[in-house]
Amino acid sequence: MTTYNFSYGSQRITVARLAEKIGLPTTRQGSKRRVPIGIQELRIAIVERCLGRDLGTVGKHCTSTLEVDQWLASSVVANYAGELGWTHQQAQRAIREAFEARWVRVQAWQELDRAKTRAKRSRMLSVIEEANREERQWLDVARVLMDLIEIERDMRADGYDLEEAEEATRAARREHVARHAAASRQKLAELGVTI
């Protein structure tokens, strides 16, 4: 056991920095002043922001608070912030969207159990079907992106330099955004809107 597992202050600082990195508040308004949000609540908020609503399936591989915080810092938050690359970030987004669709489905099932009218039951069944379809689509996207990540890793291991291709992609993306922004500004000018 490390002292980190017993040091509330060290854990608080680490988790608060991770939360701030992805734009989560670390305090809330109490009855008279701002009070810090608890560590466990912050950890849950980080997971929900980065991976979607947790249905008890993520982070099960960690056996201590140190491992949880290392996993949050090195994988979850770094990926959400884009530090591991665009492909990793988009794969995480797809998984997050799949978790969100799964959460909607679970809520719809609970609502279906409470539904008394045929119309409400029918509506809940259509919500469940839509959530199932959406979850499958996002998981397919995540699967494709994970395959792409493996291909990139193998290419780098074989000595291919992917930096030039990545820079060309970033440049094309910047050019596309600039063209889109110029077209939007022009359209707003035609409508007489000034920014």
- Alpha-carbon torsion 61, 66, 68, 73, what sign? negative
Coil/strand/helix, residue 56:
coil
Cut 0.75: pTM above it: no
Residue 159's pLDDT band (cuts 50, 70, 90)? confident
pLDDT in tens, 38-72: 888 898 888 888 887 766 666 677 888 888 888 88
Residue 80's pLDDT band (cuts 50, 70, 90)? confident
Reference 23, options 56, 41, 50; nearest CA is 50
What does pLDDT average to over the chain? 85
Whether 74 and 65 have beta carbons less than 8 Å apart is answered as no
Find the largest Cα–Cα distance for the chain.
Answer: 66
Instruction: Give the helix ranges, DSSP H, for 115-162.
Output: 118-157
What is the CA angle 15-19-20, rounded to 5?
120
**pLDDT at 195 exceeding the cut of 60:** no
Stretch (H or E) spanning 32: none
pLDDT in tens, 102-141: 999 999 999 989 988 999 899 999 999 999 999 999 999 9
Q: Give the pLDDT mean for 14-19.
A: 90
